[in-house]
Amino acid sequence: MALLVVVTVLWAFSFSLIGEFLAGRVDSDFAVLTRVLLGGLVFLPLLRWRGIPAGLQLGTLAVGALQFGITYLCLYRSFAYLSVPEVLLFTIFTPLYVTLIDDAFYRRFTPMALVAAAIATVGAGIIRYDGLSEDFIAGFLLLQLANATFAAGQVGYKHLMRHYAGVANPRHTFGYFFLGALLVALPSFLIFGQADKLPSTGLQWGILAWLGLVASGLGFFLWNRGACEVDAGTLAIMNNALVPAGLLVNLLIWNRDADLLRLALGGSVILLSLWVNVRFRPHRLQTA
């Protein structure tokens, strides 16, 4: 639990830093690629190549591709369509995906997760009651893909570590996580990257360095280790603890003129969906 709290604090500033200083100014593919490379620098020196089961190697690669590579490519793109508070609020769907994906691992189905998703959709509509523009829909769908892949990475890592418990120190295998993310981020930059939108100021480079080395390198490792040590209810709550923390940072520092009443009402309905999901879900994720 303590690890998840620490990472929540680290990540609370990330959304605002991306939205205020990088989105629309620095190419999103380059930003993600930079975070992957810098995060990898933290763990590649510790990486063990020999004596690690192929299943553990490939599984960690897949987790990195999902939880970091695809998730962050979609997340960065969503800032082109949504405000920072909206991006934060719409990440609240992640626990629902955690439930559904974990159900798939155990070959079961929890219908209340779908009820909770419907409630959350109502909350999302309240936030944008003035109409659903094409930009809003595009941003919302990008975030749902990001939420789903982030959830799949968390659940996948828990199951992977449970299956290979005691085989190797997680520090010695987490470098595969960043190699998996690189398999997604590098081709995306080569295909879609815009060379005319690279960082142009020391501030932008500094933010990317912090996001890569600390928020990504240290953050992803601590988050995944923390996720292995808690049950599903705690993990679901901590997935959404980032929302109020991130909103508080954004609204107090950069976005004081936001419609707080609308955000609070819609956010409350979405939070209700989380309560429904946790209250009526019959199963919990096991700890690794």
Query: Under DSSP, is residue 230 helix (H, G, I), strand (E, B) or coil?
Result: coil
User: What per-residue confidence (pLDDT) applies to 124?
Assistant: 66
Confidence of residue 119 (pLDDT cuts 50, 70, 90): confident
What's the pLDDT tens digit per position in 177-236?
A: 999 999 999 999 999 999 899 999 999 999 999 999 999 999 999 999 998 887 665 676
What's the pLDDT tens digit per position in 56-110?
A: 999 999 999 999 999 999 998 998 888 877 887 788 788 788 778 877 887 777 6
User: Using DSSP, how many helices (H) and how many strands (E) does the chain show?
Assistant: 13, 0
The structure tokens listed for 58 are: 């490939």
Indicate the average pLDDT of the chain.
84
CA pair distance 64, 153, nearest whole angstrom: 7
What's the pLDDT tens digit per position in 160-178?
A: 998 998 889 999 999 999 9
3-state secondary structure 56-118: HHHHHHHHHHHHHHHHHHHHHHHCCCCCHHHHHHHHHHHHHHHHHHHHHHHCCCCCHHHHHHH
Measure the CA angle with vertex 174, ends 184 and 233; round to 5°. Answer: 90
User: What per-residue confidence (pLDDT) applies to 80?
Assistant: 87
Distance of CA 137 to the CA centre of its chain: 19
Concatenated DSSP letters of 6-68: HHHHHHHHHHHHIIIIITTTS-HHHHHHHHHHHHHHHHGGG---SS--HHHHHHHHHHHIIII
**Taking residues 255-282, what's their average pLDDT?**
73
